[in-house]
A and B are shown apart, each in its own frame.
Chain A
Amino acid sequence: MSEIDVGVVAEQIAESDQISEPSGAPELGRPRRRKEDGRLLTGRTRWTDNLSRPGLLYVTFLRSPMAHARITRVDVSGAIGLPGVVAAFSGRDFADEQGSLPCGWPVSEDIVIPDHPPMAVSEVRYVGEAVACVVATDRYRAADALEAIDVEYEPLPAVVDMREALSPDSPKVHPEGNKAFSVKIESGDVEAAFRDAPVVIDRTYVQQRLIPTAMEPRAVMAETDGDSYTVWSATQIPHILRVMLAVITGIPEHKIRVIAPDVGGGFGSKLQVTAEEVLCLLLARRLGKPVKWTESRSEGNMTVHHGRDQIQHVRLAADADGRIRGLRVDLLADMGAYLMLVTPGVPLLGAALFNAIYKMDAYEFGCTGVFTTKMPTDAYRGAGRPEATFAIERTMDELAAELGLDPMEVRRRNWIRHDEFPYTTVSGLTYDSGNYEAATDRAMALFGYDKLRAEQADRRDRGDPVQLGIGVSTYTEMCGLAPSRLLGEARYAVGGWEHGSVRMLPTGKVEVITGTSPHGQGHVTSWSQIVSDALGVPFDDVTVLHGDTAVAHKGMDTYGSRSLVVGGVAVLKACEKVKEKARRLAAHLLECSPDDLEFHAGAFQVKGTEQRKTIQELAYAAFTAHDLPEGAEARLDSDATFDPENYSFPHGTHLCAVEVDTETGMVKIRSYVAVDDVGRVVNPLIVEGQVHGGIAQGVAQALFEEAVYDADGNLLTTTMADYLLPSAADLPAFVTDRTETPATSNPLGVKGVGEAGTIASTPAVVNAVVDALRPFGVADVRMPCTPERVWRALEGAGR
């Protein structure tokens, strides 16, 4: 087999894009292949681990093998003096300067935020917590030297189960106890809704713990130059990280530069301020030399923050015709050992979504955050919203089963009709737009719903060992995080605005700076499309800079499907300002009033004449500044921030058909249809990619993934052989389509698509599994629905 020349591949990708795309059509809505893909797919790019500095040293961390223990002694002297070892430190060596890792979302008055030293000093509280580190001239010697460090632990009892953790005689994770916080939200008369309700569905669901597993492991490099510092990190949040590093270490903010080079996926796991980032910065300062740390996959499984991990008690009261009277939700949310950046906020991001797309008069939500001796949880694709959507969509299917109704019919009787928007829900959100009927009708038609139901009935009649199940998920979510005012009301530490800059270069090319920080989303491509249409410049004439606090000086970074909805709009607004400057300049040069000019195809033209100036000519005129209007500055650039007035609310209908082998318990997805409404679409290819990846990740929660700790708090799923990720071979071809109901809360009409697939798909799959098994007396299967769990559910139901 011949060698693949990655350079040639990159060129081919770039060329095929130019060949396949006709010019002249509007860019918005065009399926542009991504400008980034050539370098990202070939790996010839700036992954943090690809970067180096002269004299670079390598850091490794010694991690606790115990879930809970007092550290009685750390002796690093055995490592010092080994070949290549430059230094070795314990947590105590940094106790005075390492500070505490931040929690930026103190959700309640009663919240307990324990001290969280980046390197443990006196006690460890989860397996994998750093207790010491080695700095060496290469990573092999750094890893070898860890084995020469001697740590003595005095074991303390592990706290693994959330319910047991809350019992009064449970061992304590922190001296303050195991309750991190409690929150209660009430709307309407819940007592009345449940009193004499003809139907009450009472269910408890377990949202298993997940490991985000970005393709690129975390990596950090830090360097000092006098009193200034540069930190490169595979992070989603360079701007927030910079502020936090300044606050934690006391290094003045203006002396810290943070760079997020190309970042290979995050799914929320790189929305964090990590121990390793703080310690690499401090090690660079202590040693006066550049240092780098890159995690291994097993290290990552233990120490990248985990996702989900809730126990959800859901009670739904309904009338005999299926109309919902009220909903009660009680959550236990596993915080793990500490509260990290947004740990306590994650379950609350779902608090207003349990009522979903349904009308009801009464709602009650309670959540208790619980400390355990496990890796902290935090944001993971969807963050709180997949959990809420799963609970309500599973419960709607249970309501339908209880009443003997089709699950879609129960939903139709309860959802908000398209002519009722804008609609303020029982939990207080105002959904600006949507059309659940249209998305559902389209999905049902693509799926062949009635035909599959007929096949299901036939298989049931025949007693086929392979049964068919059909699952429904009619979801909505809130994203585009977020209106700063609402975030403030929710006690979130920072705002939700975004920043964009646009500057015309002398040759008419455009440089865009965005405060969002892409890690696979394709911002460079989408932003180029927005700018191309707004300024009438060719797609290829736009470049987009990001992820470096010295270049993109303002930003709130990328998470919560916010980049396009907030950051893309900020770029659009900056373009509008540039265009206004250009208009005044054109009017001056063409000796007319700005109002006499029409802007079309990248040029200002005097109405009714052939006189015109292109935006490129104006850029050059601004550069030379030989003939500017009175008082005008010599620049054709501008910047803007955008702070949305409301969240955005993507929605859609996902339908899943599974075949369940009742002999073995194996579940196979037979077909999957997703019709999503993400508002206006900038790039259909990118939207499609997000939907496909999102569904895969949601299916993974339903069928494959689970982080498992044993009773002693040891993580058992430290490798990919134990933590199962599905690949393309394990997934069906997804059928996707869209309806387009523009958002009214931003001028682009976009809603965001980063999390929708993940939020929608998990309940669709599990509903399908349960639907297949219901005739056997099975009413639920805990996720992931492994073959063994399905088989045991059938055995337990007595078939």
Chain B
Amino acid sequence: MIPAQFDYVRPGSLAEACAELAADEDAKVLAGGQSLLPLLRLRLAYPSKLVDVGRLPELSGVHDRGDHVYIGAMTTHDEVIRSAVVTEGCPLLALATATVADPAVRHRGTLGGSLAHADPAGDLPAVVLALDGVLVAGSEEGEREIPAAEFFVDYLETALRPGEVLAGVKIPKLGPGWGFHYEKFHRTAQAWAIVGVAAAVRRADGAIAEARIGLTNMGATPLRAAAAESALRGAELGDQVRQACEMADEGTSPPADLHAQPDYRRHLARVLTRRAVLAAAGSP
């Protein structure tokens, strides 16, 4: 890796890190480095300074807090997958995280880094959005909570303000009766999702009582399949679910790239949403 020159600091506290960032608008947060370092290597980013938050105690750890799970931003993907608190409290996050890249990346990459990078092709933003997660930003002024629906502003752009660092994320626990599935469509195991669908589904009396669906790589930000979600309410497994999932691409604006054109992504979103919903409902 031959990046351009940059300064490097490793602050001892979150407050110190925020002060570093507030003092230099060209400084960048270094978390696990799995997105930032490729940008540096390709000289697509020229930060003046990297503020390494990897060892801040405030950003680590997974905590069961009763009605929600709190995950520190620097929790690695591998730690997420292996955490019993996560697999019991928010299994959808564990399912999706297990599909991220490869073991080497999962050992370095972090949940907070992935969310703050806000790449709509990343698997985890759509999951946190589907689960109505709440992102906790730290700054010199203290903590601020941002609902996931307001956090992802645009392509690689979040509601974090200058001088703020993502400290962690709260994932509300869903009660009994919920099923989960992450349906990732990619060409090779290590490749980005062409489209991904995160589904949380509550069944009652042989029908879908409630569904929450997050879409990966169907627009500039992760998206909720709102039209499909409302059509699914009360839908019986079978034709009704099938018809409801035909609305999965409504309100999306999928990108065009080497792997897929927008019309194909829309088609995939519909098929994959049906599969994800049925799998989450325990009826693959």
Which A residues have a C-beta under 8 Å from some C-beta of B? 139-140, 143-144, 296, 298, 663-664, 666, 704, 708, 716-717, 719, 721-722, 724-727, 729-730, 786-788, 791-792
Q: DSSP majority for the B interface?
A: loop
Q: Which residue of B lies closest to A667 (CB)?
A: B187
- Report the bound CA distance from A788 to B185 in whole Å: 12
For A721, list chain B residues within 8 Å (CB).
191-192
**A297 and chain B: residue at smallest CB distance:** B41
Residues of A within 8 A of B260 (CB): 788
- The answer to whether B2 touches A788 (Cβ under 8 A) is no
User: CA A584 – CA B111 in complex, angstroms?
Assistant: 75
B213 at the interface (CB under 8 A from A): no
CA distance A727 to B261 in the complex (A): 25
Residues in A with CB closer than 8 Å to B102 are 727
Question: How far is it, in angstroms, between the C-alpha of A787 and the C-alpha of B2 when the chains are bound?
Answer: 35
Q: Write out the residue numbers on chain B whose beta carbons fall within 8 Å of the beta carbon of A663.
A: 271
29 contacts between A and B (CB under 8 A): A140-B2, A140-B5, A143-B2, A143-B4, A298-B42, A663-B271, A664-B271, A704-B188, A708-B258, A719-B38, A722-B258, A724-B187, A724-B188, A726-B188, A727-B102, A727-B189, A727-B190, A729-B188, A729-B190, A730-B188, A786-B187, A786-B259, A787-B185, A787-B187, A787-B194, A788-B259, A788-B261, A791-B264, A791-B267
Q: Let me know if B29 is at the binding interface, CB within 8 A.
A: no
Complex Cα distance A725/B259, Å?
Answer: 14
Q: Which of chain B's residues 170-185 have a Cβ closer than 8 Å to chain A?
A: 185
Chain B residues near A (Cβ < 8 Å): 2-5, 38, 41-42, 102, 185, 187-192, 194, 258-261, 264, 267-268, 271-272
B4: min CB distance to chain A, Å? 6
Q: A664-B268, A708-B258 given as contacts; is B42 within 8 A of A729 (CB)?
A: no
**Which residues does chain B contribute within 8 Å of A729, judged by CB atoms?**
188-190
Asked whether A719 lies within 8 Å of B42 as measured between CB atoms, the reply is yes
**Which residues of the partner chain B approach A296 to less than 8 Å between Cβ atoms?**
2, 41
Contact A664 B185 (CB under 8 A): yes
State A666–B4 Cα separation when bound (angstroms): 40
Within the assembled complex, what's the spacing in Å between the Cα atoms of A719 and B42?
10
For the complex, give the distance between the alpha carbons of A721 and B185 in Å: 15
C-alpha spacing A729/B5, complex, angstroms: 37
Chain A proximity of B246: nearest CB distance (Å) = 13
A792–B261 Cα distance when bound, in Å, is 11
Tell me the bound Cα distance from A581 to B192 in angstroms. Answer: 64
Q: Which residues of the other chain, B, contact A788 by a CB distance below 8 angstroms? A: 259-261, 264
Give every chain B residue within 8 A of A704 (Cβ-Cβ).
187-188
Cα–Cα, bound, A730→B191 (Å): 11
Q: Write out the residue numbers on chain B whose beta carbons fall within 8 Å of the beta carbon of A719.
A: 38, 42
CB pair B188 A725 closer than 8 Å: yes
- Which residues on A sit within 8 Å (CB–CB) of B258? 708, 716-717, 722
Question: Known pairs A786-B187, A787-B185. 7 more at Cβ < 8 A?
Answer: A664-B271, A666-B185, A704-B188, A724-B188, A729-B190, A788-B260, A788-B264
Interface contacts (Cβ under 8 Å), in number, total 53
Contacts of A717 in B (CB 8 A): 258
Contact at A139–B190, with CB atoms within 8 Å?
A: no
Contact present for B42 and A730 (CB under 8 Å): no
Residues in chain A near residue B38, CB distance under 8 A:
719
Q: Which residues of A contact B4 (CB under 8 A)?
A: 143-144
Min CB gap B37→A, angstroms: 13
Measured in the bound complex, the distance between the Cα atoms of B40 and A463 in whole Å is: 50
Q: Which residue of A lies closest to B1 (CB)?
A: A296
Docked complex Cα distance between A650 and B195 (Å): 43
Contact residues of A: prevailing secondary structure? loop
Set of chain A residues within 8 Å of B261, measured between Cβ atoms: 788
Contact residues in B for A791 (Cβ distance below 8 Å): 264, 267
A346 to B272, CA, bound (A): 43
With both beta carbons as reference points, the residue of chain B lying nearest to A665 in the complex is identified as B264
A721 to B190, CA, bound (A): 9
Closest residue to A789 on the B side, CB-wise?
Answer: B264
Task: Tell me, in angstroms, the Cα distance from A708 to B190 when the chains sit together.
Answer: 20
Known: A708-B258, A719-B42, A788-B264. A139 touches B191 (CB 8 A): no
Q: Please measure, in the bound complex, the distance between the C-alpha atom of A725 and the C-alpha atom of B190, giving whole angstroms.
A: 9
Nearest B residue to A141 via CB reads B5
A144-B190 Cα distance, complex, nearest whole Å: 31
The closest CB in chain A to the CB of B121 belongs to: A721
Which residues on A sit within 8 Å (CB–CB) of B188? 704, 724-727, 729-730
Smallest CB separation, B146 vs chain A (Å): 29
| Shortest beta-carbon distance from B90 to chain A in Å | 26
- Distance in Å: Cβ of B108 to nearest Cβ of chain A: 13
Contacts of A140 in B (CB 8 A): 2-3, 5
- B250 CB to nearest chain A CB (Å): 19
Q: Which residue of chain A has its CB nearest to the CB of B267?
A: A791
- The answer to whether A139 and B2 have CB atoms under 8 Å apart is yes
- Closest residue of chain B to A140 (Cβ to Cβ) is B2
Query: Smallest Cβ distance from B249 to chain A, in angstroms?
Result: 14
> Considering the complex of A and B, which 6 residue pairs feature the smallest CB-CB distances, nearest first?
A729-B189, A143-B2, A730-B188, A788-B264, A663-B271, A724-B188
**Nearest CB of A to B263, in Å:** 9
Which residues from chain A contact B190 at a C-beta distance below 8 Å?
Answer: 727, 729
Q: How far is the CB of A86 from the nearest CB of chain B, in Å?
A: 17
Q: CB-CB < 8 A to A727: which residues of B?
A: 102, 188-190
- Decide: A144 and B5 in contact? CB cutoff 8 A: yes
Q: A139 to nearest B CB, angstroms?
A: 6
Separation of A515 and B13 alpha carbons in the complex (Å)? 61
Once bound together, how far apart are the Cα atoms of A663 and B273, in whole Å? 13
Q: Smallest CB–CB gap between B254 and chain A, Å?
A: 12
B7 to chain A minimum Cβ distance, whole angstroms, is 14
Chain B minimum-CB-distance residue to A298: B42
How far does the alpha carbon of A615 sit from the alpha carbon of B192 in the complex, in Å?
61
Min CB gap B76→A, angstroms:
13
- CB contacts (< 8 Å) of A298 on chain B: these are 42
Q: How far is the CB of B20 from chain A (nearest CB, A)?
A: 23
In angstroms, how far is the closest chain B Cβ from the Cβ of A47? 17
Q: How far is the CB of A82 from chain B (nearest CB, A)?
A: 11
User: Closest residue of chain A to B42, judged by CB?
Assistant: A298
Write the chain B residue with the least CB distance to A716: B258
Question: Looking across the interface, which residue of chain B has its beta carbon closest to that of A730?
Answer: B188
With CB as the reference atom, state the residue of chain B lying closest to A722.
B258
Complex Cα–Cα for A716 and B256 (A): 13
Which B residue's beta carbon lies closest to that of A792?
B264
Say how far A296's CB is from chain B's closest CB, in angstroms: 7
Closest to A718 in B: B42
Q: Which of B4, B188, B192 has the most CB of A within 10 A?
A: B188
Residues of A within 8 Å of B5, CB to CB, are 140, 144
From B258, B260, B268, residue with most partner A Cβ within 10 Å: B258
**CB of A143 to closest CB in B, whole Å:** 4
Give chain A nearest CB distance to B267 CB in angstroms: 7
Inter-chain CA distance A717–B2, complex, in Å, is 20
- Inter-chain CA distance A140–B188, complex, in Å, is 33
CB-CB under 8 A from B192, the residues of chain A are 721
A545 to chain B minimum Cβ distance, whole angstroms, is 34
Q: Which residues of A contact B191 (CB under 8 A)?
A: 721, 724
Measured in the bound complex, the distance between the Cα atoms of B264 and A708 in whole Å is: 19
Nearest CB on A from B216, distance (A): 15
- Report how far A726 CA is from B41 CA in the complex, Å: 23
List the B side residues contacting A725 at CB < 8 Å: 188
Tell me how far the C-beta of A781 lies from the nearest C-beta in chain B, rounded to whole angstroms: 15
Of all chain A residues, which has the CB nearest B41?
Answer: A296
**Residue on B nearest A144 in the bound complex, by CB:** B4
Q: Nearest-CB distance from B202 to chain A (Å)?
A: 26
Contacts of A139 in B (CB 8 A): 2
Cα–Cα, bound, A724→B271 (Å) = 24
Q: Across the interface, which residues of A come within 8 angstroms of B194, CB to CB? A: 787
Q: What's the least CB distance linking B261 to chain A, in Å? A: 7
Closest A residue by C-beta to B268: A664
Give A666 to B184 CA distance when docked, in angstroms: 12
Nearest A residue to B189 via CB reads A729
In the bound assembly, the distance between CA atoms of A719 and B258 in angstroms comes to: 12
Compute how far the CA of A139 lies from the CA of B260 in the bound complex, rounded to whole angstroms. 37
B175 to nearest A CB, angstroms? 33
The smallest beta-carbon distance between A718 and chain B, in angstroms, is 8
